[in-house]
């Protein structure tokens, strides 16, 4: 038994070292971009392709991330419902005030505060995989043109806001300027230029387009995606935020 455990430990160590080595040699330097008219023109084309105006006017969104984080988002009023496992949180994502339940029992004090913080962390991470293409001109962003695979690409660098200052994303687009992938240079990932796809684009009202699948080192899927002009419209007539 001890011999088997030693062999297993050696195999795991080899796999870990191999993965670290692969990631290290796969890392790419951050490309140098050129700001200006061309970068803004490419941004315009991407926003037109996915219909930025329709997104801006969308009032409510629902989606499930990786099968176990379920969201209702009253985008117009900054209200979010997050459900996972036996927990449900309803809160304002600007003030972080709200309600939290575990096994349908209302939480109070520190437990409620912790649950709201956890829900907001989930929401900030998971929603970015849905809304990132609509944040190209957020406050604190810089846009520049870079060359990737002999094609112009758009690099977005976050100087402030929800992402870590200095984080950069290079958007690769198809012939219609719909994003097909991005390459990431972000502080939480030690590998520069890691690529993840943006695919399975679904079309919603007013020709709004949302990607529902991402393939890369880890595959991420968004399911049950809905968009509308009210929570009731996308949630069978029910508005959970009346509790707040």
pLDDT digits (tens, 9 = 90+) for 138-192: 999 999 999 999 999 999 999 865 546 689 999 999 999 999 999 999 998 889 9
Enter the pTM of the model.
0.87
Q: Which two tokens stand for residue 20?
A: 């670290």
Q: Domain residues of the chain, as ranges?
A: 37-243
| Antiparallel, parallel or unpaired: β 98-102 and 151-158 | unpaired
First to last CA, the chain: 57
Cβ–Cβ < 8 Å for 166, 158: yes
Cβ–Cβ < 8 Å for 49, 208: no
State how far the Cα of 194 lies from the Cα of 50, in Å rounded to an integer: 23
State how far the Cα of 183 lies from the Cα of 185, in Å rounded to an integer: 7
pLDDT in tens, 34-43: 999 999 999 9
Looking at domain 37-243, its CATH class is: mainly beta
R_g of the chain computed on alpha carbons? 21
């Amino acid at each position: 038994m001890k011999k088997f455990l030693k062999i297993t430990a050696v195999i795991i160590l080899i796999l870990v070292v191999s993965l670290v080595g692969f990631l290290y040699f796969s890392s790419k330097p951050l490309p140098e971009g050129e700001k200006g008219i061309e970068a803004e023109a490419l941004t315009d084309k991407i926003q037109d392709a996915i219909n930025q105006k329709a997104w801006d006017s969308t009032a409510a969104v629902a989606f499930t991330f990786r099968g176990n984080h379920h969201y209702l988002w009253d985008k117009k009023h900054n209200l979010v419902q997050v459900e996972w496992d036996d927990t449900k949180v309803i809160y304002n994502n600007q003030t972080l005030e709200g309600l939290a339940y575990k096994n349908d029992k209302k939480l109070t004090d520190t437990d409620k505060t912790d649950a709201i913080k956890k829900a907001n962390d989930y929401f900030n991470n998971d929603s970015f995989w849905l809304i990132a293409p609509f944040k190209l001109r957020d406050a604190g962003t810089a846009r520049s043109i870079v060359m990737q695979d002999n094609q112009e690409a758009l690099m977005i660098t976050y100087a402030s806001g929800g992402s870590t200052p200095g984080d950069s994303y290079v958007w690769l687009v198809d012939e219609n300027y719909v994003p097909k992938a991005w390459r990431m240079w972000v502080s939480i990932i030690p590998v520069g230029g890691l690529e993840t796809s943006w695919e399975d684009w679904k079309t919603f009202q007013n020709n709004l387009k949302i990607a529902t699948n991402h393939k890369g080192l880890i595959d991420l899927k968004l399911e049950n995606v809905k968009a509308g002009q009210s929570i009731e419209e996308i949630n069978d007539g029910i508005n959970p935020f009346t509790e707040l």
